[in-house]
């Protein structure tokens, strides 16, 4: 009996242990479940907050862009960027002559904005210009008469109205072309198989003292049966006697009737002998062409302030020339033309001229470029975000530039002529400026409104 009692007692102990382990496991599972639930809820809240922040920030950015567009339209309609009395006309809504309408209200409550340079709200002489309010955002244009600058503060809201974001940025006139000299050819790669003639920039300081520069490249190669010659403008001649200087031709249309060549006795560089006018930097050493020429890292500002076309067919180029000759592209777009995609010029000569010495074009191609045509003359800059291929017998009076990772090449009979008058016109304040956000004058937190 004693033995049976002991066995029965041990059996009861086993049941108690099992119960205790089960309770501990249940508590553990409960804690894990509660913890996982809390983590899940927290993740949902974080995701929801990030979504609201993204919506609000996007709305604030949209407000900044819309306000910049408003200022540009105001300037295009005879307003002055720094004259509050001319901009301060937005009450209820404002419709410009081109049909663009802005819903907005004049006046406001803010008296100062956050100065990101000092970290304190020290700008006190602020005049409210307009409040653009379209629901998702509300943008305020301020004029600081102590600094002569415009500041935009944009407040964006999330879709559900619980999130907000604030952005501040100064607006001013910015240059779109580098103030430094530009070579006739600038590209990471150059593979030439045609007949190329280049008249260099006579005093381009690339490395060391200023010297004539025909091409600034990462590599330079003339292949197959191609030929290459560069010479000073005074040795670039036409006529049977070969004594007349091509760059002295009185007007642009005279070029189509002449054939110009370098004086063989005064060649700077040729296929077999590349001299100081061909600057080969090597891979990785050539500056980024887009940033060097335009001083920008993003395409957005340049595209937004350029006249935009879809292709380079004959009708489009003929229409461009009409606009250039009439001055229709000069005031609003500074003769900047943005091609949305590839630019493939035809081999015909229905548009023998694009631009002029006094009214040159800045053609920016968001893709590959093919410069073709019989006696086609382009006055200005051709910049391509893809390869540039030369065919036919064209001449560019200015520069051709391919962006990083692309090349200038081709098998045409091509002349690239530096023309100081073209660059003087391109660098003029009238053509070489636009209204844009001012770099390093940006704030993206609620302290902007403190």
Q: What are phi and psi of 386, to 5 degrees?
A: -135, -170
CA distance 318 to 107: 47
Residue 389 banded pLDDT, cuts 50, 70, 90:
very high
CA distance 412 to 367: 20
**Model pLDDT for residues 418-428, shown as the tens digit of each residue:** 988 888 888 77
Q: What are phi and psi of 391, to 5 degrees?
A: -140, 170
pLDDT of residue 123: 37
pLDDT of residue 251: 80
SS3 116: coil
CA distance 50 to 38: 18
CA distance 384 to 35: 57
pLDDT of residue 114: 44
**Average pLDDT rounded to a whole number, residues 7-35:** 73
Decide if 397 contacts 422 (C-beta within 8 A): yes
**Average pLDDT rounded to a whole number, residues 183-196:** 82
Q: Hunting for tokens 């001449």 — which residue is that?
A: 395
pLDDT of residue 220: 85
CA distance 206 to 220: 16
**Model pLDDT for residues 291-326, shown as the tens digit of each residue:** 888 877 788 878 888 899 999 998 899 999 999 888
pLDDT of residue 230: 93
Residue 109 banded pLDDT, cuts 50, 70, 90:
very low
Nearest alpha carbon to residue 349 among 317, 379, 308: 317
Instruction: Report the predicted TM-score, pTM, of the whole model to 2 decimal places.
Output: 0.67
Query: 398: part of which helix (H) or strand (E)?
Result: strand 393-402
Q: What are phi and psi of 33, to 5 degrees?
A: -65, -45
Handedness of CA 293, 298, 299, 305 (dihedral sign): negative
Looking at residue 350, the DSSP 8-state letter turns out to be: S
Which of 35-44, 117-126, 431-440 has the highest average model confidence (pLDDT)? Answer: 35-44
Looking at residue 141, the DSSP 8-state letter turns out to be: E
What is the end-to-end Cα distance of the chain in Å, rounded? 89
SS3 172: strand
Nearest alpha carbon to residue 409 among 219, 166, 138, 212: 219
CA distance 58 to 28: 44
Handedness of CA 323, 328, 330, 332 (dihedral sign): negative
Token pair for 117: 């340079």
**Model pLDDT for residues 48-78, shown as the tens digit of each residue:** 788 888 888 888 888 888 888 787 777 767 7
Nearest alpha carbon to residue 298 among 143, 141, 436, 411: 436
**Average pLDDT rounded to a whole number, residues 358-365:** 92
Decide if 343 contacts 363 (C-beta within 8 A): yes
SS3 89: coil
CA distance 331 to 298: 23
Q: Kind of pairing, strands 113-115 and 361-365? A: unpaired
Which range is least confidently modeled, 179-188, 225-234, 323-332, 430-439? 430-439
Angstrom distances, CA of residue 149 to CA of 145, 318, 400, 437, 438: 7, 40, 36, 11, 10
Decide if 244 contacts 238 (C-beta within 8 A): yes
Residue 85 banded pLDDT, cuts 50, 70, 90:
low
pLDDT of residue 396: 94
């Amino acid at each position: 009996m004693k033995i049976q009692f002991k066995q029965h007692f041990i059996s009861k102990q086993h049941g108690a242990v099992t119960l205790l382990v089960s309770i501990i496991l249940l508590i553990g599972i409960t804690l894990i479940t509660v913890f996982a639930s809390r983590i899940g809820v927290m993740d949902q809240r974080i995701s929801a907050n990030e979504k609201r922040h993204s919506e609000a920030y996007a709305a604030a950015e949209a407000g900044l862009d819309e306000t910049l567009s408003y200022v540009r339209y105001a300037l295009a309609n005879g307003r002055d960027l720094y004259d509050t009395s001319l901009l301060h006309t937005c009450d209820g809504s404002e419709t410009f002559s081109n049909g663009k309408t802005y819903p907005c209200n004049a006046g406001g409550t803010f008296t100062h904005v956050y100065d990101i340079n000092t970290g304190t709200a020290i700008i006190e002489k602020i005049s409210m210009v307009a409040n653009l309010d379209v629901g998702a955002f509300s943008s305020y244009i301020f004029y600081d008469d102590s600094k002569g600058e415009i500041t935009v503060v944009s407040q964006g809201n999330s879709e559900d109205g619980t999130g907000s974001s604030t952005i501040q940025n100064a607006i001013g006139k910015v240059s779109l072309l580098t103030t430094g000299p530009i070579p006739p050819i600038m590209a990471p790669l150059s593979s030439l198989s045609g007949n190329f003639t280049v008249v260099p920039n006579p005093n381009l300081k690339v490395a060391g003292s200023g010297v004539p520069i025909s091409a600034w490249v990462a590599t330079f190669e003339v292949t197959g049966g191609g030929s290459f010659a560069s010479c000073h403008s005074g040795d670039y001649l036409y006529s049977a006697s070969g004594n007349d200087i091509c760059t002295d031709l009185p007007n642009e249309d005279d070029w189509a009737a002449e054939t110009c060549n370098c004086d063989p006795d005064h060649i700077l560089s040729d296929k077999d002998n590349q001299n100081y006018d061909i600057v080969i930097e090597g891979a990785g050493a050539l500056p980024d062409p887009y940033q060097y020429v335009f001083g920008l890292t993003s395409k957005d500002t340049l595209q937004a302030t350029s006249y935009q076309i879809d292709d380079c067919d004959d009708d489009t180029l003929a229409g461009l020339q009409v606009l250039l000759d009439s001055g229709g592209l000069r005031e609003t777009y500074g003769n900047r033309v943005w091609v949305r995609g590839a630019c493939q010029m035809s081999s015909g000569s229905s548009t023998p001229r694009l631009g002029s010495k006094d009214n040159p074009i800045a053609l920016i191609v968001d893709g590959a470029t093919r410069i073709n045509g019989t006696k086609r003359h382009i006055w200005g800059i051709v910049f391509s975000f893809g390869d540039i291929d030369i065919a036919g017998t064209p001449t560019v009076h200015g520069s051709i530039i391919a962006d990083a990772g692309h090349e200038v090449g081709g098998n045409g009979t091509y002349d690239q002529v530096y023309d100081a008058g073209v660059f003087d016109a391109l660098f003029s304040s009238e053509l070489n400026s636009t209204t844009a956000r001012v770099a390093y004058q940006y704030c993206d937190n609620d302290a902007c409104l403190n």
